[in-house]
Structure 1
Amino acid sequence: MAARAGLGDTDTVPVRMDRAQLFEAVTSGCTGLISRIALSYEADPALRRELVQDILLAIWVALPAWRGDAALRTFVASIAQKRSISHVTRRAREPRQVELPDDLQSAAPPPDEIAMDKDMKQQLVASIQLLPIPQREAIVLCFEGFSYGEVGEILGISTNAAMLRCQRAKTALRAIMERKS
C-alpha cells in the first residue's frame, strides 16, 4: 500500500516504511516547507533555527502515528504549524529580560525600509508577517501549494473558511505591497 507523499509530483512514500526511512523522506522533501512555516512565525534567525529543530523533533515523535490517510507533506505541515503556534505562545509568556527606555532610537533603518531595499521575495516575507495570524497561517500554506481543502484540514477549519482566509490575505498583501512600492 502506498500513500501520496506530496513531496513532489511523482514521489510516493510507502506507509509501511520504518520511522528512520519516513524521517529521511521528511528531511529530504519537506525541509523548505518546515523552514518557511517557521519563518512566518519567528523572525529571529537563532530562535527560528531552534523552532525548526523543535518541529523536526515533534515530527520524529509523531511519525509512528502517520497512517497514510493524509499526504506525508500535509502531516508534516500540520505538525509544523501547531508547533509554531506553541512556540509563539510560549515566547509571548516569557518575561522581557531588558526593559528599554521609551525614547530609545535605533541607528539602523526601520525593518520596512530594509525590506524595500531587498528583492520582491524578501518584501513578500516581511508583508506576510504583518498579516493577522489566521490569514498568515492560511496564505503560507496556500503559497506552499496546498489546496483549500488541505489548508482547511491542516488548520482545522472548513474548505470555505480556508478559501476566505486566503483571499483576504491576498487582498491584504496586495495593499501592503502597494504601500511599500
Structure 2
Amino acid sequence: MTPAAAAAAREAGGVLSVEAVLREHGPMLARIAGSYEAEPARRDDLLQEISVAVWKALPAWRGDAALRTFLARVAHNRAIDHLARERRAQGEELDESLPDPGHDPVQHAHVRQRRDDLLAAVRRLPLGQRQAVVLALEGFSLREIGDALALEENTVAQRLSRARRQLQQWLGGEGA
C-alpha cells in the first residue's frame, strides 16, 4: 500500500484494512517466513503467526516509516520469537522473486534449483545477516532495512557485505 493510499485509508476510516494490507504485502511476508522455516507446515504456521502479529500491530502504525518497512519489522520480530520458541522446545540456543524461466523445463529446473540453494544458504546465515539479506532481496534500501531492524545504515551495509561473501563461498561464487 502506498503511503498516499494508507493516508487516505486512515483519513476515510481511521483504520487500515488488514485484509487489504495482507493481500498487498502477503507475498513479501510469505517470503520472510520462508527464509526462517524450510518445512512447509512450520512455514505456514509461522506465516499465520506473522499475519496475527500484523493484525495486532497495524493500529499502532503511525506512518513514521513506510508500511512495508513496518510490516517487515513485525514479521522479523515474530519470526525471531518463533525460532527462539522452536529452539527452546528442541533444547537448542538461537544464534544471532526470481525471473520467470519461460517454457524451457530444463531452464525452469535450473532456476528453481538455484533459488532453493540460495534459500537454503540464506537460512544458514547468522540471524542478523539473514534478516538484512531477506529485506535486501525484497528490494529494501539500506535505510529501509535499518528502519525495519532498528540499525544504522553502516551496520546494515556491513552485515550485507559479510553475508554476500559467505553466500558466495557456500554457493561457489554463483552470483550470490
TM bracket, shorter-chain basis? 0.7 to 0.9
Structure 1 residue runs of 4 or more that deviate by more than 3 Å after TM superposition: 15-19
Secondary structure (helix, strand or coil) at the match of 2:171 reads: helix
Report the counterpart of residue 140 of structure 1 in structure 2.
Answer: 134
Report the counterpart of residue 63 of structure 2 in structure 1.
Answer: 68
Report the counterpart of residue 91 of structure 1 in structure 2.
Answer: 86
Measured after TM superposition, the shift of residue 22 of structure 1 is: 2.9
Contact 2:65/2:147, CA 8 A, preserved across alignment: no
Percent identity, aligned pairs only?
A: 39
Alignment of 1:18-167 (within 5 A): 18-19=14-15, 21-95=16-90, 118-167=112-161
Contact 1:26/1:76, CA 8 A, preserved across alignment: no
What 5-or-longer segments of structure 1 have no aligned partner? 6-10, 97-115
Structure with the greater alpha carbon radius of gyration = 1
Measured after TM superposition, the shift of residue 25 of structure 1 is: 2.7
* Aligned Cα root-mean-square deviation (Å): 2.4
What 5-or-longer segments of structure 2 have no aligned partner? 92-109
Measured after TM superposition, the shift of residue 29 of structure 1 is: 1.4
Measured after TM superposition, the shift of residue 138 of structure 1 is: 0.5
Measured after TM superposition, the shift of residue 37 of structure 1 is: 0.9
State the aligned residue count: 154
Q: Is 1:169–2:156 an aligned residue pair?
A: no
Contact 1:38/1:52, CA 8 A, preserved across alignment: yes
The structure richer in helix per residue is 2
TM-score normalised to the size of structure 2? 0.79
TM-score normalised to the size of structure 1? 0.77
